[in-house]
Structure 1
Amino acid sequence: MVAGLNSAPRLASLSWDAVVEPCARWSHEGDPLTHEPAVDAPIRHSQSERGGIAMALKKSDLYSSLWAGADELRGGMDASQYKDYVLTLLFVKYVSDKAKADPDSLVDVPEGGSFDDLVSFRGKSDIGDQVNKAIRRLADANDLVGVINNADFDDPNKLGEGKALVDRLSKLIGIFQDLDFSSSRTEGDDLLGDAYEYLMRHFATESGKSKGQFYTPAEVSRVMAQLVGIQPRTPKSATVYDPTCGSGSLLLKVADAAPHGLTIYGQEKDNATWALAKMNMILHGNETADVRQGDTLVDPKFRDGDRLETFDFLVANPPFSVKSWTNGLENEFGRFDGYGRPPEKNGDYAFLLHMVKSLKSTGKGAVILPHGVLFRGNAEATIRKALIRKGYIKGIIGLPANLFYGTGIPACIIVLDKENAQARTGIFMIDASKGFVKDGNKNRLRPRDMHQIIDVFNKQTEVERYSRMVPVAEIADAKNDYNLNIPRYIDSSEPEDIQDLHAHLKGGIPDRDLDALQRYWDAFPSLRGTLFKPLRPGYSELAVDKSEIQATITGSPEYEAFASTTTGTVTHWWNVHHDELVDISSSTRPNALIALLGDTLLERFRPKPLIDEYGVYEQLMSYWNETMHDDVALVMSAGWDEAAKPRTAIENKERKLSETPDLIVGAGRSATKYKMDLIPPALIVDRYFADEKAKLEELNAAAEAAGQAVEEFIEENSGEEGLLADAMDDDKISKALAAARLRIAKREDPKSDEVKALVELIALYDAEANAKKAARDAQVKLDEVTLKQYGRLSTGEIHTLVIDDKWGARFVRGAQAELDALIRQLVDRLDVLGDRYAETVGDLDAEVERLSAKVAEHLAVMGVR
């Protein structure tokens, strides 16, 4: 047991007001800090090897700052061209830092070809030419000519002329100068890879439909990586191939899913995108990946004479519906034998058949294609029929529309599997088209959507309106005729909300509508009987007022027990992993940690009624991505004790890297601003200074009440006839104005009501000032003792504050939020049903008669007969 922690449930005293602000590491060379700590406290001043200040920023802040700075310097250049400049500099920076830290680095950084050399060119009139030469030296030393030296840094048409070019390149190099990838740990590589992926995604978004196809969204890539059948025993010698690899992100995700990695092969038609893929492989530690340039259909590079090479695994996101795929095609390499030739003006099946041919006899693959391949006729129908009969199609997943950067049309993943293909009697289908979140002008799969697709497919679980194993016999019957359009086999539409005419005529809520809410009655067995009572056969009526539905539900013993059980489930799950979290160190693998947490959380909630386990999982993953991953990275880098120390906030307005402080001690120019990367001050206050916090809240409330008293008094006595009218200035009156008017009013009539009013107003102003000062003084004192408390924390207390008060409390709140959302849905549905059948047709007829009689009465009074 860790010191400072008891054996009692660890989440018993969790803070519900924790303010979390995650931080990742970013080394920074900037202006020295000029302010000393105002209070004696432990301050973290981590130094980089170069002597720069280690800036701790959230990953999202790091990436957005990098993107904002780079994008600002883009000018009018198209994003698809500008990415070559930005990503090349990122590459040079990475390999230069890596070579410093790792003498065995596979990339040789020659003299005159490092990023430090680029820095030395800043501000020089020939900076563009010198950068080109330095990058060429690096390319020559590593057989990367045509890969990293494609961007011309001396091109006046793109970068400007004279001083404009010098300034732009100098600032661009300065942005990358702030990054530090000298760490050789895997987590450092993840940080770099994430930064690269972030830039790629933004360039894809900015590049438009015609030039965004070099990047497959990371979420889709991760799903595909889990569908191709990689096993824990899969060796690194197993091969993975992407014939249209783009920037290589899909290949990397698949290789990363294998415990030992995979041997990577890829081909890309576009030369600039091929260069991106080569750089991407090196940036992710896959320097030996074999990625070749050329048109896969016309000139496949992986072949032995007229025979295509075959691979263990295959993934691909080929360009959709290419019309010119036959241009230059002379040798078909047997790809279409036994299937027929694809249409001349649509290359979807040409790519698919190339992939089928490129798989070994036990090979497995996943391919993204437009939905049209599932149902289009003529030549494509013939090919589809042959593929189904051979048993090569293991599954189909329908994806949401607008996921991809090259197109907005919906697409699907076709899962291929040649192993035991002849024995395959069905195709497993999933309609995942409704699971996504809006992200700017694109849609994006959420963690819950990704995990659900993977779980359901790999376990072949049939879920109503979502997934189904469809027999080949059904696909082949006369009705379907080998059409694979998913809606033929899975009806994912929501059931129609049917209006009941008998209920409209006679009143009551149909039992059929209440039966549709059975999952709630299963969770709360007596709740239906509490909310409703029988009216007549097949119909019920509310037993409580409609306004009391929610209170009746949340006040019921069954709900309270269910909520307590939900909290207990989360608490027990979290406590089981407590020691693993305490043991976070430099050897921790963050991806493995979150995978373990996510899988065990799903296991805990899967057998529970009502609450969707994937909703709770989404709560975990959202918090991991927003906060916890950066916290873990910080602990890995600095250790628990060092990571918990405050540090002085960095301000660098020139580079737009200023941080919002968590705590300010002192005032004016002598104030010191602090960042608490791991433990926000609110957690310290809640655990150690609850009484002081309560007192401060009282003082703040008193100050607010005093201010309100001033406003109310002015409101009551203002206006043209008001006692304060002569002291008003544009409907406002300050204490100074009131005092000035009081001196005049006393000379005019010292006993007047105006004098009394002004005296009372000044007294109210004084009371407000005193109340605000008391609150301000209490806040200053609380801030000072809070800062000092950081220096008194034991390692065990740090564990409690972070693991229990910060992380664990968030998951308890997340599970409760899922339950609250479900209860809101139930209340909303019951409100709809209650309103729908509240008035019968007879009630409406009676109201019409009443109103008609009233109209007739008024007409009679008016003499109209």
Structure 2
Amino acid sequence: MALKKSDLYSSLWAGADELRGGMDASQYKDYVLTLLFVKYVSDKAKADPYADVEVPEGGSFNDLVALKGKPDLGEQVNVAIRKLADANDLQGVINNADFDDPDKLGKGKELVDRLTKLIGIFQDLDFTGSRAEGDDLLGDAYEYLMRHFASESGKSKGQFYTPAEVSRVMAALIGIKPDTPKSATVYDPTCGSGSLLLKVADAAPNGLTIYGQERDNATRALAVMNMHLHGSGTAEIRQGDTITSPQFLRGSVLQTFDYLVANPPFSVKSWNNGLENEYGRFDGYGRPPEKNGDYAFLLHMLKSLKSTGKGAVILPHGVLFRGNSEATIRKELIGRGYIKGIIGLPANLFYGTGIPACIIVLDKENAQARTGIFMIDASKGFAKDGNKNRLRPRDMHQIIDAFANQKEIERYSRMVPLAEIADLRNDYNLNIPRYIDGSEPEDIQDLHAHLNGGIPNRDLDALQAYWDAFPSLRSTLFRPLRDGYSELAIDKSHIQRTITGSAEYQTFKTSSNGIVKHWWNIHEALLQGITRTTRPADLIAELGDALLDAFRLRPLIDEYGVYEQLMSYWNDVMHDDVALIMGEGWDGAAKPRAARILGYDRNKKPKYETAHITFGTGVKAQRWVMDLVSPELIVARYFAKEQAELDALEAGVETAGQAIEEYVEEHAVEEGLLFDATDDDGKVTNKAVADRLKAARAEGADGDEIKALVHVVGLFKRETAAKKAAKEVRLKLDQLTLKRYAQLTTADIQRLVIDDKWGARVVAGVQAERAALIQKLVQRLNVLGARYEQTVGDLDAEVEALSVKVTAHLAAMGVEAR
């Protein structure tokens, strides 16, 4: 069975769980990632004799497996990993974790048991075919662990990882071209675990030559492992402080690069401790403030770019507006035209800090001719993900599209002229809200409408996108009341029915369904052609870009909302499906398989993964799992008649159960006819009723009680018969379904997956977007209708009428109102 990303992730995190207690996440990541590396390179070496990493005798993962349970397990694991490190010049990279450390792993048997379980978790994984070109399953799993380790390590330990979503955006912003040669260089002076560098290299069709520097040696080791796991073992990753001891020099000057990306530590106070050589980084700009290193890193990066170099840097918003020496540096950077763009990001994206940050895009090419800076306020586009925020696929694509096309979008993006930035009012302050008002328009209460009634036309004009999509809808819903105001032409409760029942909405609905179905149909051949050499990243990029283009010029529906529907499904389900098909082919991926044993309970009984179809019970039961084609898909296409029969029988079971429940609820009360027909728990059961009926007859009980008991016995019999009939039909349907799998052709499987599974879900996603849009309109119109439904005069009249009633009631009670 092909290794699914979701299964791999859960297995790796289970490995981390084995280490909890003795150390925190910043420490146990070293153990898990080291074993991940050893397992991966060992499997690749078995499959490819020319693999990049040599696996010596005694240094493979199989050698670790052979050590399981031995009393000197920890010591021997250290020896094996050292052999692998020595054979590949990876000393200090993969052998940093001490697998014989009693303080972290326990003593004696505790250490042996813990390591044995940990090795066993990795033993069950098979990375032999995990890397298909363009889709690095193992590398993604590494990043999955890094993300979780960063999240659990807290602020002080989270600086070694840049979220993959932000990395992908930065890779797209620096303008790598399709024909960029592999000899082109990319540099990250604060590279952490290297994920940002790898995302940039992955954005280049031919790859790039990678350089990175990291101050912390343990984090540098992570980066080196990461490079090997991603097939970039030739990358140069050096250790040292970038500001005080830059490692990439050409003689006495800084080496320069074609591209640069970085996520340096924010606002470092001790950046110049030990600084002896400035390497000309501050010449012409001035020295950054002694207690804040943000501009020290930025100027280092600028100096490290070639004359046509391009870069993207993550920095706190303070660099955009702080004064004194930083204002002087900022003015000089703007004057030289080196800043091409600024993107404001949401708060709480990064593991090292919760403050909002921005991406500054640098571009030295034709800098003197630059007349403006393109700004994007992307601070509101995110999803909550646990205790952090995360860029969604739609947010990423919208940033990239707007920047690449220099597209000005109200309250989101604009090209800001340098003259506007330099004028006296702004004085080279780059704070984004000065230039882009990202706030939502205020929902203004109209006093004239409250006094005289009617809905202000300006509120209806704000919904123009809907009126453009449905040209006659506004006149159907509203009629003129007086100049500048309208009133509902229908009852407020009929708004939704009027909208969805209109011919224009039906045309809109048919059109949007047709667009997505046409888009899907023209990509059917692409999907049918999924093979072992497919590049999943390219596959979903083509599908996603085509879907965006299909909806880009359509009225009302947000193309990025539709895109998000596709990408969410891709990440949740479709990517794993594609990986299965790549690994096993269409036919192999669709075959039912026996459920796997996940472990054993305290009584040594096996615990199985959830099965789709089960015949029998206990250990002898046949449990079948269908990874690609669920039984529901088979039934819907081939056994709709049988499913309808089963549905009717199960509805009969529910009806029979409800009849029992209703009768019992009425008569099992105190002194009721069924009060004595309960078991020890006070429940009316079939056995309790039968026992009571037998006793009641023997003791000559009241006839009404016996009659009620006989009736309930009959109800239980009907329920039992209904359950038996439904169970028999369910068994028959399961047997037919399982048999059908063996009869499926490749074409059948492709129809089931491409049309019935994937296609139906994407169409449903577009329908959900459309429904949400209409619901938003309905809610807004209801708010406006209710807001101005009663005028102040109406309210005064109502108060007066109520006052008269109160006075009358008081008079009737002999009280004089004052």
TM-score category (smaller protein): over 0.9
Instruction: Return 656-665 or 555-564, whichever deviates more.
Output: 656-665
The separation in 1 between residues aligned to 2:308 and 2:207, in whole angstroms, is 19
Q: Does 1:368 align with 2:314?
A: yes
Which structure 1 residue ranges, 5 or more long, are not aligned? Answer: 1-23, 27-57
Q: Distance in 2 between matches of 1:666 and 1:78?
A: 45
- Which of 625, 643, 650 aligns to 1:675? It is 625
Q: Of 732, 744, 751, which residue of structure 2 is paired with 1:793? A: 744
* Residue 856 (1) aligns with residue 807 (2): yes
- Report if aligned partners of 2:133, 2:533 keep a CA contact under 8 Å in 1: no
Distance 1:667 1:113, change over 3 A: closer
Q: TM-score, normalised by structure 2?
A: 0.97
Q: Which one of 398, 412, 434 corresponds to residue 488 of structure 1?
A: 434
Q: What secondary structure sits across from 1:707 in the alignment? A: helix
Instruction: Provide the rounded CA distance (Å) in 2 between the counterparts of 1:666 and 1:778.
Output: 15
Residues 689-734 of structure 1: CA deviation (Å, up to 9, x unaligned): 1111111111011111011111112222222232222223454221
CA drift at 1:398: 0.2
- Give yes or no for the alignment of 1:689 onto 2:639: yes
1:519-544 deviations in whole A, cap 9, x for unaligned?
00100111111111111111111111
What residue number does 2:614 align with? 664
Amino acid at match of 1:133: V
Pick the aligned partner of 1:581 from 513, 517, 527: 527
Residue 188 to residue 578, structure 1, CA distance change in 2 (3 Å): closer
Q: Which amino acid aligns with 2:88?
A: N
CA distance in 2, matches of 1:275, 1:667: 50
Whole-angstrom distance in 2 between the partners of 1:787 and 1:557:
45
Distance 1:534 1:290 in 2: 72
| Cα root mean square deviation, aligned | 1.4
C-alpha distance in structure 1 between counterparts of 2:710 and 2:134, whole Å: 66
The equivalent of 2:659 in structure 1 is: 709
Tell me how far apart the structure 2 counterparts of residues 122 and 182 of structure 1 sit (CA, whole Å).
22
Give yes or no for the alignment of 1:377 onto 2:323: yes
Work out which of the residue numbers 488, 512, 524 in structure 1 matches 2:470: 524
SS of the residue 1:169 aligns to: helix
Question: Residue 724 of structure 1: which of 659, 664, 674 is its match?
Answer: 674
CA displacement 1:459-494 (0-9 Å, x = unmatched): 110011000000000000000000000000000100
Q: Provide the C-alpha distance between the structure 1 equivalents of 2:683 and 2:21, rounded to a whole number of angstroms.
A: 48
Kept in 2, the 8 Å contact 1:70–1:175? The answer is no
Give yes or no for the alignment of 1:743 onto 2:689. no
Partner of 2:551: 605
- Indicate if the aligned counterparts of 1:240 and 1:312 stay in contact, CA closer than 8 A: yes
Deviation at 1:312, TM superposition (A): 0.2
Which residue identity does 2:648 align to in structure 1? E
Q: Which residue of 1 aligns with 2:93?
A: 147
Task: Give CA-to-partner distance per residue, 1:530-563, whole Å, 9 cap, x none.
Answer: 1111111111111111111111111111111101
Matched letter for residue 54 of structure 2: D
Is 1:766 the counterpart of 2:717 in the alignment? Answer: yes
TM-score (norm 1): 0.92
**Which residue of the other structure, out of 342, 357, 378, is the alignment partner of 1:411?**
357
| 1:801-843 alpha-carbon deviations (Å, 9 max, x no partner) | 1111111111110111000000111011111111111111011
Question: Which of 452, 456, 462 pairs up with 1:510?
Answer: 456
Q: Distance in 2 between matches of 1:669 and 1:157?
A: 41
Structure 2 counterpart SS, 1:233: coil
Shift of 1:845: 0.7
Counterpart of 1:343 (choices 285, 289, 298) is 289
Q: Which residue of 2 aligns with 1:559?
A: 505
1:283 and 1:118 map into 2 onto residues whose CA distance is: 19
Please state how far the C-alpha of 1:857 moved relative to its aligned partner: 1.9
Q: Distance in 2 between matches of 1:92 and 1:296?
A: 30
Output the CA distance in 2 between the equivalents of 1:520 and 1:458. 29
How big is the shift at 1:412?
Answer: 0.2
Pairwise CA distance, 1:751: 7.5
Q: Which amino acid aligns with 1:455?
A: D
Q: Distance in 2 between matches of 1:404 and 1:751?
A: 76
Q: Does the 8 A contact of 1:101 with 1:184 survive in 2?
A: no
Q: Partners in 2 of 1:817 and 1:93 — Cα distance?
A: 43
Contact 1:242 1:266 survives alignment (8 Å): yes
> 2:207 maps to what in 1?
261
Q: Deviations over 1:92-122 (max 9, x none)?
A: 1111111111111121111111111111221
Spell out, residue by residue over 1:644-664, the C-alpha distance to the aligned partner (whole angstroms, 9 max, x if none).
111111122259994211111
For 2:793, the equivalent position in structure 1 comes to 842
Provide the C-alpha distance between the structure 2 equivalents of 1:454 and 1:80, rounded to a whole number of angstroms. 33
The aligned counterpart of 1:118 is 64
SS at match of 2:136: helix
Q: Report SS of the residue matched to 1:394.
A: strand
The answer on whether the counterparts of 2:134 and 2:536 sit within 8 Å (CA) in structure 1 is no
1:143-169 Cα deviation digits (max 9, x unpaired):
111111111111111111111111111
Can you list the C-alpha shifts for 1:485-516, whole angstroms capped at 9, x where unaligned?
A: 00000001000000000000011111110000
Assess if the C-alpha contact under 8 Å between 2:163 and 2:350 holds in 1: yes
Q: 1:750 to 1:209 in 2, by over 3 A?
A: closer
- Find the counterpart in structure 1 of residue 650 from structure 2: 700
Out of 161, 186, 196, the residue aligned to residue 142 of structure 2 is: 196
Asked whether the equivalents of residues 308 and 357 of structure 1 are also in contact (C-alpha less than 8 Å), the reply is: yes
2:536 is aligned with what amino acid?
P
Q: 1:511, 1:539 within 8 Å by CA — same for their partners in 2?
A: yes
**Pairing of 1:589-600 with structure 2 (within 5 A):** 589-600=535-546
How much does 1:786 deviate?
0.6
Provide the C-alpha distance between the structure 2 equivalents of 1:440 and 1:715, rounded to a whole number of angstroms.
44
Relative distance call for 1:771 and 1:166 in structure 2 (3 A) is same
In the alignment, residue 524 of structure 1 is paired with which amino acid?
Answer: F
Q: CA–CA distance in 1 between the matches of 2:22 and 2:135? A: 32
Displacement of 1:306 after TM fit?
A: 2.1
Match of 1:807 in 2: 758
Deviations for 1:602-648, whole angstroms, at most 9, x for unmatched residues? 11000000000000000111111111111111111111111111111
Residue pairs, 1:442-521, within 5 angstroms: 442-521=388-467
Show the counterpart of 1:324: 270
Distance in 1 between residues matched to 2:434 and 2:188, nearest whole Å: 31
> Which of 9, 25, 45 is residue 2 of structure 2 equivalent to?
25
Among candidates 479, 483, 506, match of residue 537 of structure 1 = 483
Q: Is the alpha carbon distance of 1:65 and 1:825 closer, same or farther for their aligned partners in structure 2, counting shifts above 3 Å? A: same
Amino acid at match of 2:540: I
Instruction: Answer yes or no: is 1:390 the counterpart of 2:356.
Output: no
CA distance in 2, matches of 1:550, 1:68: 49
Between stretches 662-671 and 425-434, larger displacement belongs to 662-671
Query: Is the contact between residue 368 and residue 413 of structure 1 (CA under 8 Å) also seen in structure 2?
Result: yes
* Residue type at the aligned position of 2:320: L
| 1:669 CA drift (Å) | 4.4
Moved more, 419-428 or 78-87: 78-87
Question: Relative to 1, partners in 2 of residues 1:783 and 1:481: Cα closer, same or farther, differing over 3 Å?
Answer: same
Alignment partner, residue 17 of structure 2: 71
Query: Residues 784 and 377 from structure 1, CA distance in 2 versus in 1: closer, same or farther, beyond 3 angstroms?
Result: same
Report if aligned partners of 1:339, 1:383 keep a CA contact under 8 Å in 2.
Answer: yes
Counterpart among 230, 245, 248 of residue 302 in structure 1: 248
The one of the two structures with greater contact order (alpha-carbon pairs below 8 A, sep at least 6) is 1
2:693 is aligned with what amino acid? L
Matches of 1:667 and 1:620, distance apart in 2: 39
Q: Any stretches of 5+ residues in structure 2 without a counterpart?
A: none
> Which range is displaced more, 331-340 or 70-79?
70-79
